[in-house]
Amino acid sequence: MSDKPHDAAPPLVQLWSRDGFQGALSVVTRATYAPDYLSVQGPHAPRRAVLERLTPDDQDDPEALPTTVATSRLGVKLHVSGRRKPMPYVVRNVEADEIHFIQSGTVRFETDVGCLTATEGDFVCIPRSVAYRYAPTGDAMRSIIVESPSALKLAPPAPSGMLNVARDLKFAEVDAAMPAGGPTRLVLKTLDPENTVFTMPHDPLALGMCLSESVPVWKLNLASIQVHAYLPEGGPPSQFLSSTTGDLLMFNLSARPGGRPPVHINADFDEVICYVRGPGAWGGCTEPGTLTCVPKGVIHHGPSEDVPEGYQAWLLETRATLRWTPKAIAASELMETGQYRPHPGVGK
């Protein structure tokens, strides 16, 4: 089984909490290390995947859309993209806001409201019904795309402090020269099994100028989001982004001082964490682009975040119950929930 943590001498504290870090809670002690499990069958199990081992469909087929990693009944989805060539069409997601996290590479986005170039560690927000296409500026890129049917907004705990909006939030801008172009396919992403494809007489992303003050497409780098800690004991992180319904939250979960999280059960939220890169390890996560998922109600501990050499990671909490797709299951492995290593006792 997983190594017993040095801070796991009995009696061990176990926390159950509602509404993520915000709601009611109970704390009990027990003599055994609760995250240990011998085996598991069924879909509601903790898993991990190293993104480099998952080949997205769009890596070799420019016509393909990103590969879906996880879906849910609430419409929250995760996808992975790995383009080497530009998109030969334009996409407008009419059912969800999208956050594109750039794990590696540099990506040029052209949208309905202007262009921006995103680099490693950037979150790019493309709200519902804003059309876009993107392309790597080099030979490769890897991104994780989060789809949220509920509108997403920056929601730090205070207007300043966690985010320096004036310095670090960058908006799409209208480039001077975007030719009108010829016939262009416009793909409307819906919840239907097949997409709806318009053929437009011109490039729908060819713009004149921006007349509004606000621009809905922005980018923000993970490294510029300050972490929030309670010292000296430690405590929960604070979200920098939230959906209007509060059913999807995102956090910077990079290295921070304070104590290790308690063994806990998150009653209402699935927890998806992306270990972005070191130099330090986050428990059992050492490979850049490691995606971990602990479904709601599954007891877990989690590695210490107090890693002096530092690492970068982000956390997605969602009330949606995520289900990994067959392709993602094939590229992933079961995970123990102490240090988030591959589970030692069972295969896939």
Question: Which residues make up the interface to Fe ion (CB under 5 A)?
Answer: 266, 271
> Considering beta carbons, is residue 109 or 251 the nearer one to Fe ion?
251
Q: Which residues are CB-neighbours of 34 under 8 A, at least 6 positions away?
A: 12, 14, 263, 299
Q: Which two tokens stand for residue 126?
A: 């493309």
> Considering beta carbons, is residue 17 or 103 the nearer one to Fe ion?
17
Length of the chain: 348
> Considering beta carbons, is residue 138 or 235 the nearer one to Fe ion?
235
> Considering beta carbons, is residue 247 or 271 the nearer one to Fe ion?
271
Q: Which two tokens stand for residue 235?
A: 């405590």
93 CB neighbour count, 10 Å cutoff: 21
> Considering beta carbons, is residue 67 or 266 the nearer one to Fe ion?
266
- DSSP letters, 230-270, are -TTT-----EEEEETTSSEEEEE----SSPPPPEEEESS-E
- What minimum distance in Å lies between the beta carbon of 298 and Fe ion? 9
- What minimum distance in Å lies between the beta carbon of 257 and Fe ion? 18
- What minimum distance in Å lies between the beta carbon of 125 and Fe ion? 25
- What minimum distance in Å lies between the beta carbon of 152 and Fe ion? 21
- What minimum distance in Å lies between the beta carbon of 271 and Fe ion? 5
Are residues 219 and 123 in contact, defined by beta-carbon separation less than 8 angstroms?
yes
Residue in 148, 147, 122, 144 with CA at minimum distance from that of residue 291: 144
E strand or H helix at 278: none
